[in-house]
Amino acid sequence: MKNKRVIGVDLGGTKILAGIVDEEGTVHERVERPTVTTSQGALLDELADLVRSLPQDDVGAVGFGIPSRIDHEHGIALGAVNIPIRDVPFIDEMHRRLGLPVEMENDASCAALAEFTLGAGRGANDLLLLTLGTGVGGGIVAGGKLFRAYTELGHMVIVEGGEPCQGACTGHGHVESYCSGRAADKLAVKLLGAGSTARDLVEQKHPALAEVGRHLGVAIGSLVNIFGSTRCVIGGGYGVAAFDLLVPAARRAVLSEALAPSGAELEIERAALGADAGLIGAGLVGFEAL
Ligand SMILES: [Zn+2]
């Protein structure tokens, strides 16, 4: 059988994960490298190099999950917060380098699609996914379909005039300013001293994480009011590790902010596909290019 597999690529703020994905969403061979952040050209070359390092047998397309706003109409990656991507005709650039059909989607939308299809979102028709990693990403499945828009849910304002956001973002009081792994790293240094990280806060079950959970719940409650999500999946390395410490306070905030009875009915689940969600979702998106 030809072209029953694709290559999925999950471009993150700190690492790039690529693998062969079959129609069932199973990941076969995989590779991982640190994200090149020196320049856009170097990053695109690195992505192509990583794809070529995988076996190409029966591979019919490549799907990319990238932490960027995307102009689907023109195939352009508009801009990322934590990596050097800006106004690049990403589909054309990667097609030229790889000679294979290419599709792309926002990385957190990829994770949402994967969790919806194969993971913690199965059975839900209206899913909200938030990934708490280097930054905060978000994806929405509405009425059983992936909502293909910017979905930069991490850059929603939850505290007007609040903490400055990070990377290329000039905003203040965004979800990412409070609920990202980097925000937790900063909080750890402030509370526990130089050299401390988010990991220390989680290991100590630090009470300050309840405040982070409250911020997260305010964001979730607002998003439920907009999208009518009935299940919320929390992913990302930091989100999964800190899940049990964030959710009780998050749930209280959701109950207060979401219009009844949505808050009480909302299920909040830990992501089930782990670090593979973005990669699998990128693969599922890649199948659309076949
Ligand atoms: Zn922001």
The tens place of each residue's pLDDT in the chain, 290 residues long, gives: 556 899 999 998 889 999 999 999 999 999 999 999 999 999 999 999 999 999 999 999 999 999 999 999 999 999 988 889 999 999 999 999 999 999 999 999 999 999 999 999 999 999 999 999 989 999 999 999 999 999 999 999 999 999 999 988 999 999 999 999 999 999 999 999 999 999 999 999 999 999 999 999 999 999 999 999 999 999 998 999 999 999 999 999 999 999 999 999 999 999 999 889 999 999 999 999 99
Ligand 1 center to residue 272 CA distance, Å? 26
pLDDT recorded at residue 134: 85
Overall pTM > 0.85: yes
Give the DSSP H or E segment for 209.
helix 208-227
Q: Which residues contact 59 (CB under 8 A, 6 or more apart)?
A: 3, 5, 6, 7, 20, 100
**CA 55 – CA 58 distance, rounded (Å):** 9
Cα(153) to centroid(ligand 1), Å? 9
87, 76 in Cβ contact below 8 A? yes
Give residue 188 CA to ligand 1 midpoint distance, Å.
Answer: 20
Spatial CA neighbour of 278 closest among 7, 6, 9: 9
CA atoms within a 13 Å half-sphere pointing along the CA-CB vector of 32: 8
Q: What is the pLDDT of residue 2?
A: 59
> Coil, helix or strand for 160?
coil
Q: Is it true that the peptide bond before 164 is cis, omega within 30 degrees of 0? A: no
User: Are the C-beta atoms of 47 and 40 separated by less than 8 Å?
Assistant: no
Distance 244 CA to ligand 1 centre (A): 25
Expressed in angstroms and rounded, the spacing between residue 176 Cα and the centre of ligand 1 is 6
